[in-house]
Each structure stands twice: as C-alpha cells, then as structure tokens.
Amino acid sequence: MGEVEQLETVIVILLGIVAVGLLVLFLLAARRSLLRRRVGTFDCSLRLTAGGRYGRGWLFGLSRYSGDGLAWYRVFSFSPRPRYVYSRRELTVRGQRKPVGPEAMALLPGVVVVECGVAGQRIEFGMSPSAVTGFLAWLESAPPGHHLVA
C-alpha cells in the first residue's frame, strides 16, 4: 500500500468520524425540537440528593407537565421517554433561591433554584423565573387537600 492510499484511507476514516458526530448532533437537536413542540415544556435543570448529600451535580434537561405529573427529560439523551416523572401529589416545595457559589457557573444565567421534596428525597430544579411561576401555579392547581409547602 502506497503513501497516497494510506492518506486516502485516513481521510475516509476521518470523514466517517465527522459524519457520525454530525449525525449524533442532528439527532439530539431533532429530539429536543420534538420535545419542545409539546405544550407545557420548559428548560429545567435537575439536581438530586442522596442521604442529605448532593449527587452527581446539575443535569441539563427539559420538563413537561403531563396530567398530574412532571416529566423530566435529559438534554443529552436519545430516549423518547422521560428520565424521571414526579407526581404532583408527592412534590412539596421547600423554598427557592438564587444559585450560589459554583452552581451559579453550572446553571444558565438568570435561573432560580427551587428546592423540593419527593417521597423523602430532596431534589432541586433550576428554571427561569417565568417557569417557576408556572410550576408553582401548576402545583397550586392540585385538587384540594394536597400539601404543597413543607
């Protein structure tokens, strides 16, 4: 195999890698676009805690109101299904605050952190102020007898 043939092989391999990378980016963008078309969808980061300690950190995602639940989708995933679904009945709002310290760099600008509890687990949502208003209104519109603030 000559130098020219080796160079052609390397170029074909590199073009293949670039094509696969572009396809992955296109599929992620298409999935996000399809999710965003649904009514009640908004950008929403998520941070889970385990045993009172923070878990993996902030995960970027989208949330969508789905009947009596809040479905949360990872941004960087190919799955058409939500990663988590939280029942409105189980969600309790513990408070809201501005991001502090390193988390301010991990979240989008202008985000409000909403501290919640679900089935004894502490979770935090990072969302825009208008999304917080919609989220709280959605929780308050629950049938009578739901406990919303712990």
14-73 per-position pLDDT tens digit: 999 998 988 888 877 777 777 677 767 899 999 987 544 555 689 989 999 987 899 999
Check residue 112 and report its DSSP letter. Answer: E
Q: Which amino acid is at 102?
A: P
pTM over 0.85: no
The dihedral built from the CA positions of residue 149, 60, 108 and 104, taken in this order, carries a sign that is: positive
Percent of the chain with pLDDT over 70: 87
Cα–Cα distance for residue pair 21/68, rounded to 1 Å: 38
Q: What residues form DSSP beta bridges with 46?
A: 59, 125
A 10 A CB-CB count for 67 gives: 8
